[in-house]
Amino acid sequence: MFSLHKRKPTRRIYIGKVPIGDGAPIAVQSMTNTDTRDIQSTVDQIKRLARSGCEIVRLAIPDEEAALAFKKIKSQTDVPLVADIHFDHRLALKVLEGAADGLRINPGNIGSQQAVEKVVKAASEREVPIRIGVNAGSLQKDILAKYGHPSPEAMVESALVHVGILEAKGFDKIKISLKSSNVINTIRAYELLSEKVDYPLHLGVTEAGTLIPGTVKNTLGIGILLAEGIGDTFRVSLTRDPVEEVKVGYEILRALNIRHRGVEIISCPTCGRCQIDLFSLVDRVDQALSDITESPKVAIMGCVVNGPGEAKEADLGIAGGKGKGIFFRNGRVVKKIPEQDLEKVIVEEVKKFIHKPA
């Protein structure tokens, strides 16, 4: 029987008020895809992400204008914000002045040793963690030459080199990620690294693609690692609205029985017995219940033959028939409903269910 491994002990850090590591709830993150310099669009997207359950949001900081915008964005949200910076240490200093809750950098490409010292000193004074983000597509030339390709071992060595740079400056508020578009390499890299460090790990499969292939890659990569007890926070990577990343993230956690957020809809794939427009019905109900944070199980089945039986573990649900459907609770039929009222009834019943007296 499948069971989760015990989580590997890691150090505790905080991104804003969100605890990471040392047994804290596994946090779901995402990244804005707006132009950070467009303050209002970025704030609006952060608010949408927050409503979907995103607990930490990362922003790209490509230049000084974006770094200055970061402070204004930060003043308009309570969600912890992480600044993603490459090559120019001055941008890191600027966002730290703007109250960044975290930095995502590679110490090896942020500038000279003196530049790294300035960033580390400023982060240390403000108690702001730094995520060392290793990407298989941008490893150091000497490490690539040593291994011949971005292997898991090469990614781990790159991470340890960067960790050493920060540790040499007396800095230990560190979080690490090792991302590749290759799921197997990603899994192996995190497994190897988890044996060598006790810093919290940020999981992810980078450049995973569009909704379907991206969801599959992320679910396998992140899910397998979480099942092994590895990982303290993660971002699902999709070529999609980042809100979809958060939704997939919570479904991964739900499937592993780690965290539950939002209504769990159980629905059949349909077959020749289905006599209602189940696809459309499920989509409408899903959208109508999208703001609910409680986690009842709701079954929406395409026929009355197996509906209540197959969904007997659901709290409530409906099963469609020709021109009608039945409403059931805990697998027991309660009443018949005209087809045109199925959506209305199930939405109303779910809301009654979550607001019932304890």
Q: What is the sign of the dihedral through the CA atoms of 159, 160, 161 and 167? A: positive
The fourth-level CATH superfamily of domain 264-353 is: Sulfite Reductase Hemoprotein, domain 1 (3.30.413.10)
pLDDT at 205 over 70: yes
Greatest Cα pair distance in the chain: 74
- Give the C-alpha separation, 349 to 320, whole Å: 16
Burial 104-127 (b: 16+ CB within 10 A, else e): bbbbbebbeeebbbbbbebbbeee
pLDDT at 26 over 50: yes
**Structure tokens given for 325:** 């459907």
Which residues are registered as beta bridge partners of 18? 15
Q: With bands split at pLDDT 50, 70 and 90, how would you rate the model's confidence at 4?
A: low
- Give the C-alpha separation, 218 to 214, whole Å: 6
Identify which of 231, 141, 228 has the alpha carbon closest to the alpha carbon of residue 179.
231
pLDDT at 344 over 60: yes
Across 294-300, average pLDDT = 90
Q: How high is the pLDDT of residue 87? A: 84
Across 148-159, average pLDDT = 93
Helices (H), 256-296: 278-288
pLDDT tens digits, residue range 223-271? Answer: 999 999 999 999 999 999 999 999 999 999 999 999 999 999 988 887 7
What residue segments make up the domains of the chain, in order of their start?
Answer: 13-255, 264-353
Q: Please write down the HEC assignment for all residues of 72-105.
A: HHHCCCCCCEEEECCCCHHHHHHHHHCCCCEEEE
Q: Which of 28-32, 114-118, 157-161 has the highest mean pLDDT?
A: 28-32
Token pair 């508020």 in the structure block, residue: 173
Q: 30: helix, coil or strand?
A: strand
Q: Which CATH class is domain 13-255?
A: alpha beta
- Give the C-alpha separation, 159 to 142, whole Å: 14
Q: How high is the pLDDT of residue 311? A: 67
Q: With bands split at pLDDT 50, 70 and 90, how would you rate the model's confidence at 194?
A: very high
**Structure tokens given for 249:** 């993230």
pLDDT tens digits, residue range 32-88? Answer: 999 999 999 999 999 999 999 999 999 999 999 999 999 999 999 999 999 999 889
Q: How high is the pLDDT of residue 307? A: 66
Q: How high is the pLDDT of residue 1? A: 33
Looking at every residue in the chain, the average pLDDT score rounds to: 90
Strand ranges (E), 171-329 = 174-179, 202-203, 233-235, 264-267, 297-301, 316-321, 324-329
pLDDT at 309 over 80: no
Of 15-24, 34-43, 205-214, least confident by mean pLDDT is 205-214
| Helix H or strand E segment including 15 | strand 13-15
- Give the C-alpha separation, 213 to 327, whole Å: 35
